[in-house]
Amino acid sequence: MTVVAMAIVGLSSAGVLGLASLAGAARGLGVSAAPTHPSVAALEKQITALLHHSVAKKSKIKTEYSYNWAGYAFVAKDAYNGTLTEVSAAWFTPVVTCNEPSGTPSFQVSWVGFDGASDGTVEQGGTLSYCSNNGATPAYYTWWEFYPYNSVQLVYQISGADAIQAYVLYNPGWCFGDVCGVYTIAVSDVDNQGADFSITGNPTVCDAAGCEGGQDADAEVISEAPGGYSANGGYYYLADYGTSQFYEAQVTVNGHSTGIGAESSKLGKTYLIDEVGFTSGAIIQTTSALSPDLYGQYFALTWSGFD
């Protein structure tokens, strides 16, 4: 398909920066006004002191397996018509150990976003933890992506363990020309508010059959090995992050905000996703059950080894 121009609000000139270029310096893109935040101490106290406990009712969440994702995906019952309008979560940027087999880089990406679980578009933003080689010093970035319009766009270099808040909003009534349905991706670094950004657009592509934008079919809160088992013809390892947690994971569907799995039987279906190795078939990222927290739901992820 041929890519057409995407109208972008709040962004200066930004070329496509694929995963092969992640070792380069992050560029500061034009950003919109930063959202307001609680103090660093207040946020860290809030999300580290929460009491987590099991959901009392029987879970109706189905477990699925992926070669590159681990976490939760929510598919609304009334998908494709603008009923799914927000997904959000908070986390600490996973600190990675560069101990992968020599000569091969490794990555770990934490993000929130729409689409990708049941269609071919994505609207995502989050953090990326990167090792160039065994024994290297890790690097950490914020990023966004509107696929298939572009690939991952790095924004700012940040620090491991920074407190992050991120969301993606969908506005079905906002149009760019003939394409309606606009997404706003925002990533806030509570420990470095100069690294906050937000960007608005739609991953529109056109071919002989016409133009197609984002699908608004599903929402995700995910830890990912970018590219999965293959990217640009090569294999990328999932970086060793030990354990990581998402806090306040929630979606808004039909105007109702809820934990990403709290009301799956009423508003849609939630899927727990574990990542399996393409070569070994063994689980290399394990996703915990959901527990309620202050504003949504909490879950943990555990790295299990290289595939």
Give the model confidence (pLDDT) of 43-70 as tens digits.
Answer: 545 444 443 333 334 457 889 999 899 9
Least confident span in 7-21, 203-217, 272-286 = 7-21
- Res 24: pLDDT: 30
End-to-end CA distance of the chain: 33
Give the model confidence (pLDDT) of 140-175 as tens digits.
Answer: 999 999 988 888 999 999 999 999 999 999 998 888
Report how far residue 30's alpha carbon sits from residue 22's, in angstroms, rounded to the nearest whole number.
19
Report how far residue 113's alpha carbon sits from residue 228's, in angstroms, rounded to the nearest whole number.
17
- Residue bearing tokens 């105007």: 255
CB 142 within 8 A of CB 195: yes
Residues 6+ away with beta carbon under 8 Å from 156: 26, 28, 141, 142, 189, 192, 194, 195, 197
Name all domains of the chain by residue range, CATH numbers in brackets: 2-303 (2.60.120.700)
205 vs 64, residue with greater confidence: 64
* CA max distance for the chain: 54
φ and ψ at residue 114, rounded to 5 degrees: -110, 150
Least confident span in 177-181, 216-220, 266-270, 272-276 = 177-181
Q: What is the pTM of this model?
A: 0.81
- Res 121: pLDDT: 86
